[in-house]
Amino acid sequence: MPVITPPETRYARSGGAHIAYQAIGTGPPDIVILPPWVSHVEAYWDHPVMARPLRRFASYARLILFDRRGIGLSDPVPLTEVPSLEGWMDDLLAVLDAVGCERAVLLGTGDGAQMALTFAATHPRRTESLVLVNGYARLARADDYPWGVPVEVQDRIAAIQEETWGVPSSPSIDLLAPSLAGDQTVRHWWARLERLACSPGTAVAMQRAMYGYDVRHVLPAVTAPTLVLHSTGDRVVRVGHGRYLAQHIPGARHREFPGADHWYWVGDQGEPMMAAVHEFAIGTTVAPVSHRVLATVLFTDVVASTETADALGDRAWGEVLDDLDDLVAAQVERFRGTLVKSLGDGHLATFDGPGRAIRCAMAIRNAVGSLGIEVRAGLHTGEIELRGHDPAGIAVHIAARVVGLAGAGEVLVSASVPPLVAGAGFTFADRGEQQLRGVPGSWRVFAVTDEGRPHLDP
């Protein structure tokens, strides 16, 4: 394998954030590494245990690395403002644009798998294939998800993490790479990388945020060829997580390897797992471009429109609707959505991120008072089929039914939305299980009670 000099670090703009990235090697394919949140693109190259697998990737592909916002060499964020999956997905898109990558193989490990899955479902045209290694769709335990981490263990992990962050004697290597636990050079390198990645307070905030994300409902919307690999003895991400992914991603290939290392490139499992990634990345048949994508669907509706129209008269009411069309169009554009159509006194729009959709709905709600009217809004994140510019599918019907449950000035969302905006500062009031006319089963609905923090990139 030829010697490869560590690449130069550059910066991409993701809204108001600067995202550190590196690109090395030549493609196709382009492989983007989506590691767990502990990262530092320059410190990766300081020890052979990490530099060796990176050089191997770069020997047969263009390798793209980046630090998500809040971590490593990318712009920091306040301790209380852990970014959402949506923000990190924006960072990935900005890096792809910066390096001129149209379609990439996304390699996600740990929580990096959540970002890879959400991006692949939302941006299928930019995704060549997915490789998910020791990854998960949800980290926290739930009644219907027994592989996750129980609450009491989450608290213990946070306490240990805060006390031992960046210390060579930390138990982190014993869990991440037990086959290397006796190598003091690895322990000291990893401790330094932790310190460079972030402070102990940020580490605890990041780790706690991971327990709030849940992308299980995204899995059926993934259309890219997918390979799921897992170490059977992984104590950081138990093997049940990988099996769940393989069972719920359409057409996913699945392989398991004996070994206890979470770092998939080390130990006895290292060579066969790296070979499996290589074979899949260069041999994946390009799937037809899908017209089905993950999107957040927003419906707005004027409250008491008939009564207001009668009171104003046809001409004045028509002027109000014209002004409303202009107002909604401006807000949808501001929050990077697509205005699909006006529905008389309502509107339909789609967004590639639920956080922007919520902020748009609340901005519309707050602005229409100047027109002497009130609106309500309903949102749902799910798979839609694009027919020209028109979205179709059950997700559209669910959002339309959710808005029908809202009162004046309310923004209601389905249960698919809150897990995708964890960390964005939104708060929700549970409205319980609801029957949505024409939609099978019952659906939990939430009211947005706090519009969250200002986003770096509306």
Token pair belonging to 251? 């057409």
Kindly give, in sequence order, each residue whose CB lies less than 8 Å from that of residue 36, ignoring residues fewer than 6 positions away. 109, 110, 111, 112
> 277-299: per-residue pLDDT in tens?
999 999 865 555 567 889 999 99
pLDDT tens track for 310-337: 899 989 999 999 999 999 999 999 999 9
| 352-400 confidence digits (pLDDT tens) | 989 999 999 999 999 999 999 999 999 999 988 876 667 888 899 999 9
Query: What is the structure's pLDDT at 443?
Result: 87
* pLDDT surpasses 90 at 226: yes
Question: What's this model's pTM, rounded to 2 decimal places?
Answer: 0.87
pLDDT tens-digit series, residues 112-165:
999 999 999 999 999 999 999 999 999 999 999 999 999 999 999 999 999 999
- Kindly report, residue by residue over 19-48, the tens digit of the pLDDT: 999 999 998 899 999 989 999 999 999 999
59 touches 25 (CB < 8 A): yes
Kindly list the structural domains of the chain, giving each domain's residue range(s) and its CATH number in brackets, ordered by start.
10-283 (3.40.50.1820), 292-451 (3.30.70.1230)
Long-range contacts of 23-28 (CB under 8 A, 24+ apart): 23/62, 23/63, 23/64, 23/65, 23/99, 24/54, 24/58, 24/62, 24/63, 24/65, 25/57, 25/58, 25/59, 25/60, 25/61, 25/62, 25/63, 26/61, 26/62, 27/61, 27/62, 28/61, 28/62
In the structure encoding, which two tokens stand for residue 139, read together?
């980290």
What is the distance between the alpha carbons of residues 38 and 382, in angstroms, rounded to a whole number? 29
Are the CB atoms for 67 and 19 separated by under 8 Å?
A: yes
SS3 content of the chain, % helix, strand, coil (to 5): 40, 25, 35
Q: Residue 451: its pLDDT value, please?
A: 60
414-458 pLDDT tens trace: 999 998 888 777 899 999 988 888 788 788 999 998 765 544 444
Peptide bond into 29 cis (omega under 30): yes
d(CA 329, CA 344): 14
> Positive or negative CA dihedral for 166, 267, 106, 247?
negative
CA distance 91 to 12: 8
**Pair 194, 166: CB distance under 8 Å:** yes
How many whole angstroms separate alpha carbon 19 and alpha carbon 50? Answer: 21
The predicted structure's pLDDT at residue 423: 72
Confidence band for 4, pLDDT divided at 50, 70 and 90: low
Distance CA 376, CA 433 (A): 19
What pLDDT, on a 0 to 100 scale, did the predictor assign at position 456?
A: 42
User: Is the four-CA dihedral 426, 363, 414, 124 of positive or negative sign?
Assistant: negative
